[in-house]
């Protein structure tokens, strides 16, 4: 079976993307009169913070997050003159605010600040345990890789393939989500990548989530390996469900089908408009012919939309997984309905 060349990231490229959030350390502080937190600028105009009597450079994002930690919005801190911003910060950090904050440092520089203080894990640790189970010889590359303190994601594309229709190759893989500050769950899920457009979808079932209640009781690597194994085992079933979508016709009923899908999955209006526009371009402008075409419209928007946040894009790719898992079309009203159980 001839396979298109996939435009994927190499392992070295992934390492460079992850590097700014690798090897982090942190300093936990309590706000108030005794905090001894001070702000100033160095002779080059860079912000410096004193934490536990030690001075640290701050990135722009680190400074903005420190301000946000005491209720100063980014829209203000970004535009505010530095001397005025520092006077505000001095007031709130040393008397005007209460509570605790965690400052995150990368090579001694403050890169972030947040009130959440969960145990956190390097993306490289999670990725390495995942790769052990997949096997390096079976990894074709990486897709949708980004890493921030609030949200990290790595999609691993493997050599597990099938054809939805002749010449239309899809690859199975693993999707890994992490969050240093605990804003999102650590999650491992089966992943589907369409070779033609490198669109992605997250399988609706066999998603594994790490509970931070286990942080102090067990290492995370065995969980990652077990979750990866389970996700790989779910791929064949998903291949079959996607194949079924190619057999469900929607010609003449696309608006009804899309409207039903949007209601079922609670898709926001702005995203609905993008999906409708994408669907209209399919089949040379003739629109979707099958549910597989609609599925591809969703994965396309979920992968490439510039209007979606990173978490919103991942959520829409999960919706694509939901479309394949349990739903079919009523032959009379053309609405999405649950398939009858065998």
Condensed to tens digits (0 to 9), the pLDDT of residues 41-56 reads 999 989 999 999 999 9
136 plus 227 within the same structural domain: yes
Secondary structure (3-state) at 38: strand
15 and 139: one domain? yes
pLDDT tops 80 at residue 330: no
| pLDDT tens digits, one per residue of 145-155 | 999 999 999 99
Checking if the pLDDT of 210 tops 50, the result is: yes
285-312 per-position pLDDT tens digit: 999 999 999 999 999 999 999 999 999 9
More confident residue, 283 or 36: 283
**Domain-located, residue 245:** no
On whether residue 319 sits in a domain, the answer given is yes
Q: Are residues 160 and 222 in the same domain?
A: yes
User: How many C-beta atoms lie closer than 10 Å to residue 183's C-beta?
Assistant: 14
Rounded CA separation 132/161 (Å): 20
Q: Are residues 16 and 93 in the same domain?
A: no
- Asked if 35 and 93 count as a contact pair (C-beta separation under 8 A), the reply is yes
- Burial class of residue 23 in the structure, from the number of CB atoms within 10 Å of its CB (0-12 exposed, 13-18 middle, 19+ buried): exposed
Does residue 102 belong to any structural domain of this protein?
yes
Q: Based on the fold, state whether residues 192 and 136 are members of the same structural domain.
A: yes
- pLDDT of res. 274: 98
pLDDT at 1: 44
Would you state the pLDDT for residue 222? 95
Domain boundary among 59, 80, 114: 114
State pTM to two decimals.
0.91
Q: Is 101 in the same domain as 137?
A: no
Contacts of 109 (CB under 8 A, 6+ apart): 56, 57, 58, 59, 62
Q: Which domain holds residue 303?
A: 254-338
Is there a single domain that holds both residue 62 and residue 39? yes
Residue 4 lies in a domain: no
CA distance 283 to 293: 9
Res. 7 pLDDT band, cuts 50 70 90 = confident
pLDDT over 70 for what percent of the chain? 94
**Kind of pairing, strands 168-178 and 152-165?**
antiparallel
Which of 23-27, 79-83, 133-137 has the weakest average pLDDT? 79-83
Domain boundary among 114, 131, 146: 114
The pair of structure tokens assigned to 151 is: 């949200």
What is the reported pLDDT for 49? 96
Residue 261 lies in a domain: yes
pLDDT for 342? 42
In this structure, the answer to whether residues 44 and 130 fall within a common structural domain is no
Mean pLDDT of the chain: 92
Alpha-carbon distances, residue 122 vs 69, 125, 177, 221, 339 (angstroms): 23, 5, 11, 11, 41
Kind of pairing between the strands at 208-209 and 327-329 = unpaired
Higher pLDDT, 60 or 32: 60
Q: What is the mean predicted confidence (pLDDT) over 20-30? A: 96
* Domain assignment present for 44: yes
**Which one of 114, 148, 173 terminates a domain?**
114
The residue whose two tokens read 């921030």 is 148
Confirm whether 247 is domain-assigned. no
Task: Look at the block and give the residue holding tokens 């860079």.
Answer: 46
What is the reported pLDDT for 115?
94
Strand order in the sheet with 54-57: 38-41, 47-51, 54-57
Backbone angles phi, psi at 48, to 5 degrees: -130, 140
CA 221 to chain centre: 20
Position 333 confidence tier, pLDDT thresholds 50, 70, 90: low
Within 13 Å of residue 263, how many CA atoms lie on the same side as its CB?
8
> Domain tally for the chain?
3
Q: Kindly state whether residues 136 and 175 are assigned to the same domain.
A: yes
If asked whether residues 286 and 258 sit together in one domain, one would say: yes
Any idea what DSSP says for residue 5?
A: P
Q: Which residues of 230-269 are buried (b: 16+ CB within 10 A; e: fewer)?
A: bbbebbeebbebbbbbbebebeeebebbbebbbebbebee
Residue 341 above 50 pLDDT? Answer: no
Residues 103 and 144 in one domain: no
**Which DSSP string corresponds to 313-337?**
HHHHHHHHHHHHHHEEE-TTT--EE
Q: 145 and 220 share a domain?
A: yes
| pLDDT score at 32 | 85
Looking at residue 205, its pLDDT comes to 81
Q: What pLDDT was estimated at residue 154?
A: 98
210: closest CA among 130, 146, 149? Answer: 130
């Amino acid at each position: 079976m001839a396979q298109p060349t996939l435009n994927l990231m190499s392992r070295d490229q992934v390492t460079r993307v992850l590097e700014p959030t690798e090897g982090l350390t942190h300093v936990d502080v309590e706000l108030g009169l005794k905090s001894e937190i001070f702000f100033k600028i160095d002779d080059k105009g860079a912000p410096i913070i004193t934490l536990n009597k030690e001075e640290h450079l701050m990135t722009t994002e680190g400074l903005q997050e420190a301000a946000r930690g005491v209720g100063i919005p980014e829209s203000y801190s970004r535009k505010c003159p530095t001397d005025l911003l520092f006077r505000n910060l001095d007031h709130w950090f040393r008397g005007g605010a209460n509570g605790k904050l965690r400052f995150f440092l990368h090579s001694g520089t403050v890169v972030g600040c947040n009130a959440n203080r969960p145990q956190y894990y390097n993306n490289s640790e999670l990725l390495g345990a995942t790769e052990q189970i997949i096997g390096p010889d079976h990894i074709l590359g990486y897709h949708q890789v980004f890493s921030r303190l609030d949200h990290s994601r790595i999609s691993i594309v493997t050599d597990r393939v099938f054809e939805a229709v002749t010449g239309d190759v899809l690859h199975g893989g693993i999707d890994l989500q992490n969050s240093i500050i605990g804003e999102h769950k650590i999650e491992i899920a089966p992943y589907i990548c369409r070779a033609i457009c490198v669109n992605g979808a997250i399988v609706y079932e066999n998603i594994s989530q790490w509970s931070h209640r286990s942080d102090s009781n067990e290492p995370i690597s065995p969980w990652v390996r077990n979750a990866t194994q389970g996700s790989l085992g779910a791929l064949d079933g998903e291949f079959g469900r996607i194949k079924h979508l190619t057999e469900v016709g929607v010609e003449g009923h696309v608006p009804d089908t899309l409207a039903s899908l949007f209601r079922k999955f609670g898709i926001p209006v702005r995203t609905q408009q993008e999906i409708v526009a994408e669907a209209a371009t399919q089949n040379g402008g003739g629109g979707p012919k099958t549910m597989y075409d609609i599925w591809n419209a969703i994965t396309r928007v979920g992968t490439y939309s510039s209007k979606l946040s990173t978490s919103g894009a991942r959520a829409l790719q999960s919706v694509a997984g939901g479309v394949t898992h349990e739903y079919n079309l009523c032959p009379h009203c053309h609405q999405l309905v649950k398939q009858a159980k065998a």
